[in-house]
Structure 1
Amino acid sequence: MQVLLVASAFNSLTQRVYAELGEHGHHVAVELALPGASLVEAVDRHQPDLIIAPMLRTAIPKEVWSARICLIVHPGPVGDRGPSSLDRAVQEGRTRWAVTVLQAVEEMDAGDVWATVECVVPAVSKSDLYRGEIADAALEAVLLAVDRCASGTYHPQPQITGHALPYLRQEHRSIDWRTDTTERVLRVLQAADSQPGVRDELLGGVWYLHGGYPEDRLRGYPGELLATRAGAVCRATTDGAVWIPELRARRVPGEPAPLKLPATVALGDRLRPPHLPRPLPEHPAPVLAAGTALRRTWSDIGYREEGGAGFLTFSFPGGAMSTERCRRLLDAYRTACSRPTSVLVLGGGRDFFSNGIHLGVIEAAADPAEESWANINAMDDLAEAVLTTTDRLVVAALGGNAAAGGAVLALAADEVWCRSGVVLNPHYRLMGLYGSEYWTYSLPRRVGAQVAERLTCDALPVGSTTAVRLGLADRTVACAPEAFADVTARLAVRLAGSATVQARIAGKKARRDLDESVRPLASYREAELARMRDTFFDPDAPYHALRRAFVRKETPAATPAHLGRAHGAGSGEGTGTHNSTVAGPRSVTGLGAHERASGPASC
């Protein structure tokens, strides 16, 4: 079918619907619902068989929904209506929820039901839930609805009950630190973690708090700041404490939109006298050793071992890896490599793997060019460490999406395992960057020079099934988000105990030595960074305006041209270097020397 996606933004769910509809053989184009843009004209131009709105904040015009079937993806069960459905589910502590695909009509969320799929609601943040269980249910419901539309025989079911609930405003999200328990504070914070945040007063200022995690040992007067850890602040509740990783200042009329930043960066000098009687102590995250009881506290980096395999987990808000986060992760990686394991798993969590450099921290820096340069070098140091690890197998385990330098970081590993439904964006072009992290080495050796060039130039999302077919990934893991860590742990332990693991490690070292003799790894970095430095330190380079627009959530003037063109299952096709299947992990076969040396052209 010819499908047109209409969305307020090309967000994670829209990208997944886009990628998976293409993998199911449909031709898909995207139009953003933007102020001043005519959706009626866009539909006339595309002439789609079906319109789907995966994430839409505005109503579809009557001229469109009265002439064509328009399906709305609503993150709530049948009868639930309104703009804050998922927020309420998290804040109210629901354990089960649903996604409903319904037909657009005059009243919002009141149309006939084409499909509805239930899902569990684990104790995670709204954004994590949205990219995990909700996205899984949404895709199942969308594919079912599309099949029913294509059949021409299905009649959607009317909603018998239901009423619209109002937008969940800040007064319904407020925290009273004098009386609220840790459980309620966490529910409120997690229900607003990405947007809109929870408005609160702190150290003489008004802030929006983003995200929250429990702390099991630190205690203090309710509302008191107790400690810092890796950019987060710990704040006491009536019966415990919570870690808050990010803050955003209140917007001042006439000024640019404030940035969401690590809490300690946002607060800055307020964390020192005279705002506080004394600087807050830094409480490093506990290192989990064998036999140690698992604590209920927050850490963005952790390590454990099981059956000859090491697991280095990391989870950064929004998948953004600042200079400081890269350096801490590199230190942890080097420590993990000192352990007597034969397999090291990177990632393995249920949300973002990595989205590359931290554009928010860069934008907030006194000198964004210098911070960009420091950040990309820190990313490169981490990628280099992974690429040059030759005494064990390294697995990148992607339970969530990855983009730009984060996607390329995963390719530095020997194997890439993706949870089914993960979306990869292995390109930099949309941010006006050439890219680094040794992508001119890692990407062509996996997919070939021609496919690498198409992926980086087309700048389109790639679903997990296509990623395996192309060679971007070696395995898809079909499981619920909550099960991904356990499933990958079993696979890694099995790999570490296999009879062939030492032979594979030896073969890996031989290939790395051969590649180095053909072209030193350092030369890839030098060539990439020369291009990146020219961009960073050119005040007129598009990167600076694109970065600013991205982090401050500025509305684009029009739908980007590369999204408006219809793409189908063939848009991501190409011949990978090792014809991977989902049957199991296998070693990566390198390209010929001439292909490795040349790399794809700049886009």
Structure 2
Amino acid sequence: MRSLKIILLASAFNGLTQRAWLELHEAGHAPSVVLFTDENAVCEQIEHSGADLVICPFLKDRVPQQLWSNPRRPVVIIHPGIVGDRGASALDWAISNELQRWGVTALQAVEEMDAGPVWATCEFNLPPGLRKSELYNGRVSDAAIRCIREVVEKFNAGFTPEPLDYHQPHVIGRLQPNMKQADRAFSWHDCSRFIKRRIDAADGQPGVLASLAGAQYYLYDAHLDARSGTPGQILAVHDDAVLVATGDHSLWIGALRQKPQPGEETFKRPARHLLAQQLHGVPTLDWSIATQPFNEEAYQPIRYRESGHVGELTFEFYNGAMSTEQCQRLVTALRWAKARETQVLLIKGGRGSFSNGVHLNVIQAAEVPGLEAWANIQAIDDVCEELLSARQLVVCGMTGSAGAGGVMLALAADIVFARAETVLNPHYKSMGLYGSEYWTYSLPRAVGPVIAEKLTEECLPVSAKQALQWGMVQEIGPRCPDEFGLWLLQRANGVLTDPAYAPIRQRKTRDDRLLIAQCREAELAQMQLDMVQNRNQFAEKCRNFVYKRKACGTPQRLIADWAQLPETELSE
């Protein structure tokens, strides 16, 4: 197939855009990214690039007429809806209406939003209980990548896209209005499953506005529970979540965002943090795997089970962010699990991201963000130290994508297994950080010093396939989360006798404690300069991330050589 110059026009270099960029690279094409800033700059960059094709995997802005009206270079929108579906709330409506089947459509940009001719479509079953971010990063992302592959193949073959025709019986999607808070509203007297579905459909953005503890908050991260009480009453606190009574049972709410006053900006925070002043007298439920290791509680951010000689510890932190307190809880759990008479310790993530390192939102909310960042990085280092010092052979299951310290946390294990199509971002520099989590020990151990420098300096995403080739990952398992979980436990049970892992088992006998301690000390010396003294503008970059500031330009590292504009200033 002919290699193409492809522009990825996106509102952000998010997970799907990264997957598209990696997919096109690995297929032999030359993708380049344009982040949508202002219309004139976007048009100039694309019009002068000589691109063959423009694909928009994640675009919130309207495509300028100057771009979509060019007949020689199509602009293809990846829309998260079935053929005929139109509007910005496609997934919100699909979850709210409990549809059993949904899809993704690749359509050509025209003047009317989502009304252009169809290049490709891919449908999938929609299981109940998925939150929007989980759906988007899973089935929607998978379907979008299949559509992108098909678009590229058809473009090379001279395909003419089919006009959208609502008279065709297979076109069952329709124009849907943007979902408003009135469409998301619920009463705490409603049943738990209904309220959870409302919250799931708004997960990520914008959240569901509701009254709680005498104020208005946007709600996120809901989990069912069987306890009951007066609807709307906060019944208990556990870890970072609060338990709120509903019409039949109750829901754990893990994250909130305060409704802003005019001119004010707010961001998501752990529910217990935001409601701290309203929780006096509310009972705290302090179960953990160290105190009640095999309890039957429905909501367990850290949970444990054993299978044969394998102890499996699962941690599931919202959006993959790990605060100081969450890291401390994980350290306690790891110490308990390490004391068990198991031979393999399997540590894995939950339904969302595996881990993205320190919790930037909690850091930003602190009275002195730099000091909270400093506490957070030491706490996540403690998690990594527990893995590096384990008697057991440590296996890490990367159940989802990972970034920065989350990647390095995985590499602290002896063996890393990744779910197919996960994306890793093994770098810190773009956030103004040197990095810690023992990366100066674990990353060169996995890939060698040359590749380690390349990964941390280039600041580009890495596919699971590339990670396997470089030695960051030892095996890749099934893409289906449930299948991956079964496969992972099976492989963890086999690593003690598998001849392929004899060198790693032998490596466990080496005494690297002094080197490991020296790496931590040197890394933290650099991180103190970054986090406390703000050497490389970490404070500003953290603030921009938390408040979701729009990029002022496309980072130079994402622009291919063929797409460079002479004498154009581009942000780093």
TM-score normalised per structure 1 = 0.88
Structure 2 residues not aligned, in runs of 5+:
167-172, 564-571
Task: Give distance in 2, aligned partners of 1:186 and 1:194.
Answer: 14
Task: Give distance in 2, aligned partners of 1:567 and 1:192.
Answer: 39
Task: Give distance in 2, aligned partners of 1:129 and 1:344.
Answer: 29
Flag the 1:501–1:385 CA change in 2: closer, same or farther, 3 A.
farther
Matches for 1:132-211 after TM superposition, within 5 Å: 132-152=138-158, 154-161=159-166, 162-178=173-189, 180-211=190-221
Matches for 1:3-14 after TM superposition, within 5 Å: 3-14=6-17
Q: Tell me if structure 2 keeps the 8 A contact 1:81–1:110.
A: yes
Task: Give distance in 2, aligned partners of 1:499 and 1:465.
Answer: 22
One-letter identity of the residue aligned with 1:146:
V
Per the alignment, residue 240 of structure 1 pairs with: 249
Flag the 1:566–1:544 CA change in 2: closer, same or farther, 3 A.
same
Task: Give distance in 1, aligned partners of 2:535 and 2:521.
Answer: 23
Q: CA RMSD in A?
A: 2.2
What is the deviation of 1:259? 1.9
Query: Please, which moves more after superposition, 65-74 or 484-493?
Result: 484-493
Flag the 1:251–1:36 CA change in 2: closer, same or farther, 3 A.
farther
One-letter identity of the residue aligned with 1:213:
H
Flag the 1:450–1:45 CA change in 2: closer, same or farther, 3 A.
farther
Per the alignment, residue 590 of structure 1 pairs with: none
Matches for 1:44-443 after TM superposition, within 5 Å: 44-67=47-70, 68-122=73-127, 123-152=129-158, 154-161=159-166, 162-178=173-189, 180-216=190-226, 218-255=227-264, 257-272=265-280, 278-284=281-287, 297-389=298-390, 391-443=391-443
Q: Tell me if structure 2 keeps the 8 A contact 1:535–1:541.
A: yes
| 3-state SS, counterpart of residue 38 of structure 1 | helix
C-alpha deviations, 1:351-383, integer Å up to 9, x for none?
Answer: 211000001101111111211111000111111
| 3-state SS, counterpart of residue 59 of structure 2 | coil
One-letter identity of the residue aligned with 2:228:
R
Task: Give distance in 2, aligned partners of 1:392 and 1:473.
Answer: 19
Task: Give distance in 1, aligned partners of 2:39 and 2:276.
Answer: 39
Q: Tell me if structure 1 keeps the 8 A contact 2:47–2:67.
A: no
Flag the 1:502–1:550 CA change in 2: closer, same or farther, 3 A.
closer
**Which structure carries more relative contact order (alpha carbon 8 Å, separation 6+)?**
1
| 3-state SS, counterpart of residue 495 of structure 2 | helix
Task: Give distance in 1, aligned partners of 2:175 and 2:398.
Answer: 37
Task: Give distance in 1, aligned partners of 2:154 and 2:301.
Answer: 43
Task: Give distance in 2, aligned partners of 1:567 and 1:92.
Answer: 45
Task: Give distance in 1, aligned partners of 2:122 and 2:491.
Answer: 29
Matches for 1:531-546 after TM superposition, within 5 Å: 531-539=526-534, 541-546=536-541
One-letter identity of the residue aligned with 1:156:
P
| 3-state SS, counterpart of residue 219 of structure 1 | coil
Per the alignment, residue 526 of structure 1 pairs with: 521
Task: Give distance in 1, aligned partners of 2:52 and 2:469.
Answer: 28
Per the alignment, residue 15 of structure 1 pairs with: 18
Per the alignment, residue 596 of structure 1 pairs with: none
One-letter identity of the residue aligned with 2:263:
G
Task: Give distance in 1, aligned partners of 2:152 and 2:558.
Answer: 20
Matches for 1:435-514 after TM superposition, within 5 Å: 435-496=435-496, 498=497, 507-510=506-509, 512-513=510-511
Flag the 1:441–1:229 CA change in 2: closer, same or farther, 3 A.
same
What is the deviation of 1:95? 2.5
Task: Give distance in 2, aligned partners of 1:400 and 1:539.
Answer: 31
Q: Tell me if structure 2 keeps the 8 A contact 1:288–1:304.
A: no
Flag the 1:414–1:432 CA change in 2: closer, same or farther, 3 A.
same
What is the deviation of 1:253? 2.6
TM-score normalised per structure 2 = 0.92
Task: Give distance in 1, aligned partners of 2:295 and 2:376.
Answer: 35
Task: Give distance in 2, aligned partners of 1:435 and 1:90.
Answer: 38
Task: Give distance in 2, aligned partners of 1:192 and 1:544.
Answer: 29
Q: Percent identity?
A: 42
Match of 1:548 among 543, 547, 555: 543
Task: Give distance in 2, aligned partners of 1:452 and 1:502.
Answer: 22
Task: Give distance in 2, aligned partners of 1:303 and 1:567.
Answer: 51
Flag the 1:37–1:445 CA change in 2: closer, same or farther, 3 A.
farther
What is the deviation of 1:284? 2.7
Pairs aligned (count): 552
Flag the 1:446–1:385 CA change in 2: closer, same or farther, 3 A.
same
| 3-state SS, counterpart of residue 206 of structure 1 | strand
Task: Give distance in 1, aligned partners of 2:351 and 2:228.
Answer: 29
What is the deviation of 1:12? 1.1
Q: Tell me if structure 1 keeps the 8 A contact 2:290–2:332.
A: no
Q: Tell me if structure 2 keeps the 8 A contact 1:23–1:466.
A: no
Q: Tell me if structure 1 keeps the 8 A contact 2:198–2:208.
A: yes
Structure 1 residues not aligned, in runs of 5+:
273-277, 569-602
